Amino acid sequence: MNVGVAHSEVNPNTRVMNSRGMWLTYALGVGLLHIVLLSIPFFSVPVAWTLTNVIHNLGMFIFLHAVKGTPFETPDQGKARLLTHWEQLDYGVQFTSSRKFFTISPIILYFLASFYTKYDPTHFIFNTTSLLTVLIPKLPQLHGVRIFGINKY
């Protein structure tokens, strides 16, 4: 038991993505983003799908792969301060259900965006680049790796 904290986990970041209703909330948030973009009059359907994909992947990259540490006071002696949220997720265990969900969701969104843009080369390049920026950091080989020392501290 942790004295002086409001939660029982050593690091709540490890379990937050497994919380009840988190995946549904995530999917509804992406759907709401897409509906808001579709409601803007001068955006065509392909532009709305590409923007949905790019904004989603940018947010996912920042939240899961760029921001380090934890917003909670943890009794783990600062071990989590050098890890991104993706590296803290499920205590660093690879191929858990939440990691699979957050790996497959941008791929599904990419397929939807590619289909609704009718594989237009310009949209395809933006969507593919956006997908690769969130998939490559999720590879197990890159767990804890800082390429060119970026985000080392």
d(CA 81, CA 70): 7
**Does residue 4 form part of some domain?**
no
How high is the pLDDT of residue 4? 54
**Does residue 7 form part of some domain?**
no
How high is the pLDDT of residue 9? 63
Instruction: Work out the average pLDDT over 27-46.
Output: 96
Q: Quick: pLDDT tens for 55-108.
A: 999 999 999 988 887 776 666 666 777 888 888 888 888 899 999 999 999 999
Helix (H) / strand (E) containing 14:
none
Split into its structural domains, the chain has a count of 1
Note down the domain range covering 57.
15-142
How high is the pLDDT of residue 117? 96
Q: C-alpha dihedral over 126, 127, 132, 138, to 10 degrees? A: 140
Instruction: Work out the average pLDDT over 45-54.
Output: 97
* Average pLDDT along the chain: 87
How high is the pLDDT of residue 105? 96
Point out the least confidently predicted range of 20-34, 41-55, 90-104, 113-127. Answer: 90-104
**Does residue 114 form part of some domain?**
yes
**Does residue 98 form part of some domain?**
yes
**Does residue 148 form part of some domain?**
no
| C-alpha 100 chain-centroid distance | 11
Residue 129 pLDDT more than 90?
yes
Q: Cβ(5)–Cβ(72) under 8 Å? A: yes
Q: Quick: pLDDT tens for 131-144.
A: 999 999 999 898 77
**Does residue 9 form part of some domain?**
no
**Does residue 8 form part of some domain?**
no
CB neighbours of residue 50 within 10 Å: 25
Q: Cβ(84)–Cβ(64) under 8 Å? A: yes
Q: What DSSP state is assigned to residue 148?
A: G
**Does residue 151 form part of some domain?**
no
